[in-house]
Structure 1
């Protein structure tokens, strides 16, 4: 047997041995050289893997880590220097007591070692010892706490989540300092493992909702989860509907309010948004600003949003249907101005409306992708220039420009970006049906949309609650915003265990200073 053949067989034998250790969870070799070979095989000979050795009283201690993932200065001060000054018994217990790091874990599994190394953990072990120590000193580049950008508010806290799951959990715990706040951690992904945390208040959140969330998370088999919005799509009830079934938010105070109402929150590492569920259609039109304002102001703003969304969906299709089939419903004074406005337009109303809607969506998408200052300028100037030029060129009428602008503004009033996008998309098929069948086509789309919403569920709960099934007591949390003395119970739709918020007698009691 030649030396080359012998070397190849030894390499194959070592690879099979390492693969067996991975599959069966066997302990790794505590010989430094063999351990280094195992690691190099498992990480595909990655050049940023570092194996550093320190000799203490003639005994070698190995430190393994990825140089780009750890805090170098922190490792020098908290690991290397204490080890070099160590004078006690050299074993994994002595090493654990010497290192000045809060998060330390004992392990002898090669699988655990590799999974932790790629997340910025340092592995320390002594030649010939039975266990090693995992020390978490990951240098995860995260931005500082900043003002929320996608969910702007006038009143209330402005702080938003970051890409650090530890900071995000800290923000939630700071707002909900309840010992009943439970946090369950899951690792999802076969290649890139992501930490996912399930958060709920134990004596408020219904156990069925918690179990459903837990089961859907554990059933996920995927190579990687990039963001919480991707996870929300994987665990939702219906993947084919255009309507979002979970609220994704970057506001910690919205998560706080949801937890206290009996909902459940999901955090994903390296994602600046949280998932809230179960979420109904009405929740997407609620803003935390409604709570911070006086009850009559909050109710007024919610009414504006509902009316604006209704106009956004039906105003343009109604224009198309009336001008195509139903001239008799137009007042005579308005009919003259409509005729004059459309006298130079060569296209039918349906094509005219679709063209303008497409231009509006084009401007919105282009403005969102450009830098902030350039995007705002382009959106304003582009809308004015294109609108005016379209009217002068005879492509469209002045009245349709006004209607399209009102429809676009109505879709922007939704606090949730996802539901606003869904509303904008819904307009296109309704406009087509209005151009083909007039008012009958609009009613057909409306009925189809209503039936579809009645069939949607979120974590098995009705999507249209509290409208269907009708729960009168929950209207004060969804459609209206009543004074706080009427909010003595939590929303019934969430099926909270502890339903009481304010004692009923004290809720309606008002005292003067001298009483």
Structure 2
């Protein structure tokens, strides 16, 4: 029975075949007769051996030292199992399909085939050109580790394992992409992370069908709960310390090969206003900064719409002294407040985008000089008032206090529909817009978890893990929002005995 089964497999398999046929099929099917597809043939005694690789994809020194020299100097009768056990590079793979061999070669492997055998051996020897971990650019910190992720999956995994030296750390591998496969890793602590979260993220990654995954932020757009929402539902970070801290809290991390950022899930609205720098400062300073960011976010989306609504419909709420100043400032402005505000907001966004796309030193100069020159010019030309310049500048500064670039961008975009609603219906339009935004945020989910927690549903015990900070010795419970298996970070220490000054 076994002999019949082996004969049947051999009959239906591509192998055995001649070396010339395998070489031709690979060239025609995968490399389009590319000159970078290199082959070397060896003959000794009654064996013919073919070694294949792509020049710019492999470490040639390893191939010549560990494979070619070994085959040339040995007079043994080789077979695939012997090759797999004797070549000291990495774990070899036995392939029986041309498609698998071509995929391995494109991934930086060398393939070895012995004519007449029913298997081909491939070894991964990729030539990796990667940069060293450097200082984070988009999420700069004053205190704490300055290192950032790189585009190399191996380097990023090394950093994560170095920071999370825990035997319960799990890294699951996924390959996503029909045309250009990319390696994706799901990372979590199995003793802390919730199984439902893990299963949901695993299901979304397995279900994903796309040609390729360009970057971590692209992956989030494929797997997020609501792709039509302006608010980001997963946190994308380039900081390994933020990434590892969230994993220790019971969340999941996702890394994508060739991407210099990681994904954190599930995430709530208030997570985008947190920074690991809040942990490195004292608790009262950390709480003050977090609350200040939330206030700044509210002011950023409120100041300009209130200006437009007040000058269009609600003059009565403006103090008399300020009304005189406003009237004098707007005496030369030919546009209504709505159009005036939209023009100035658009100019601010134009300067910001130009400064971000230019080289660092030029971009900083462009932002400062452009803002001063253009601001002064539009006031003198009568396109806008001095007071609106101040209001728009404050709104722009407030939006930059958000640590997350994606959330900061969402806040800046929200200002435009709010300004339009304020110009059309005044305060009624503003509060109608606020109600719509609030209802939208309350309905959002992140990995099927409530997006506006701990406000909705109300969980006061989680406030110290999101809105404010309390001393570390008092913060011995992980956030319930993440549904961690192990809810306690540590046992609560015994209370310190209080001494009176007379006791000393």
Does residue 298 in structure 1 map to residue 286 in structure 2? yes
Contact 1:317 1:442 in 2 (8 A): yes
Contact 1:28 1:110 in 2 (8 A): no
> Which residue does 1:71 correspond to in 2?
59
Count, aligned residues: 489
- Structure 2 matches for 1:43-442, cutoff 5 A? 43-47=30-34, 48-442=36-430
* Alignment CA distance shift 1:92-1:406 (3 Å): same
**Following the alignment from structure 1 to structure 2, what is the Cα–Cα distance between the partners of residues 172 and 85?**
42
Cα offsets for 1:426-481 (capped at 9, x unmatched): 00000000011111111000000000001111111111011100111110010001
Contact 1:345 1:394 in 2 (8 A): yes
Does residue 494 in structure 1 map to residue 494 in structure 2? no
* Alignment CA distance shift 1:421-1:510 (3 Å): farther
**Following the alignment from structure 1 to structure 2, what is the Cα–Cα distance between the partners of residues 158 and 511?**
39
> Which residue does 2:3 correspond to in 1?
none
Q: Which moved more, 1:239-248 or 1:369-378?
A: 369-378
**Following the alignment from structure 1 to structure 2, what is the Cα–Cα distance between the partners of residues 298 and 392?**
42
Contact 1:28 1:35 in 2 (8 A): no
Aligned residue for 1:266, secondary structure, equals strand
* Alignment CA distance shift 1:394-1:172 (3 Å): same
Q: Cα distance, 1:87 vs. partner?
A: 4.7
> Which residue does 2:21 correspond to in 1?
34
Q: Cα distance, 1:223 vs. partner?
A: 1.3
**Following the alignment from structure 1 to structure 2, what is the Cα–Cα distance between the partners of residues 130 and 511?**
80
Q: Which moved more, 1:101-110 or 1:287-296?
A: 101-110
Contact 2:16 2:118 in 1 (8 A): no
Contact 2:473 2:493 in 1 (8 A): no
Q: Cα distance, 1:297 vs. partner?
A: 1.1
Aligned residue for 2:57, secondary structure, equals coil
* Alignment CA distance shift 1:401-1:203 (3 Å): same
Q: Which moved more, 1:40-49 or 1:269-278?
A: 40-49
TM, length-normalised to structure 1: 0.92
**Following the alignment from structure 2 to structure 1, what is the Cα–Cα distance between the partners of residues 228 and 265?**
18
* Alignment CA distance shift 1:145-1:46 (3 Å): farther
Aligned residue for 1:387, secondary structure, equals helix
Q: Which moved more, 1:126-135 or 1:340-349?
A: 126-135
**Following the alignment from structure 1 to structure 2, what is the Cα–Cα distance between the partners of residues 500 and 400?**
50
> Which residue does 2:6 correspond to in 1?
none
* Alignment CA distance shift 1:52-1:138 (3 Å): same
**Following the alignment from structure 1 to structure 2, what is the Cα–Cα distance between the partners of residues 243 and 183?**
28
**Aligned CA-pair RMSD:** 1.9
Q: Cα distance, 1:93 vs. partner?
A: 2.3
Q: Which moved more, 1:261-270 or 1:130-139?
A: 130-139
Q: Cα distance, 1:340 vs. partner?
A: 1.2
**Following the alignment from structure 1 to structure 2, what is the Cα–Cα distance between the partners of residues 72 and 134?**
15
Contact 2:16 2:117 in 1 (8 A): no
* Alignment CA distance shift 1:510-1:145 (3 Å): farther
**Following the alignment from structure 2 to structure 1, what is the Cα–Cα distance between the partners of residues 306 and 67?**
71
Gaps of 5+ in 1: 1-20
TM, length-normalised to structure 2: 0.94
**Following the alignment from structure 1 to structure 2, what is the Cα–Cα distance between the partners of residues 70 and 201?**
34
Cα offsets for 1:318-350 (capped at 9, x unmatched): 111111111111122222111111111111111
Q: Cα distance, 1:104 vs. partner?
A: 2.4
Q: Cα distance, 1:28 vs. partner?
A: 4.0
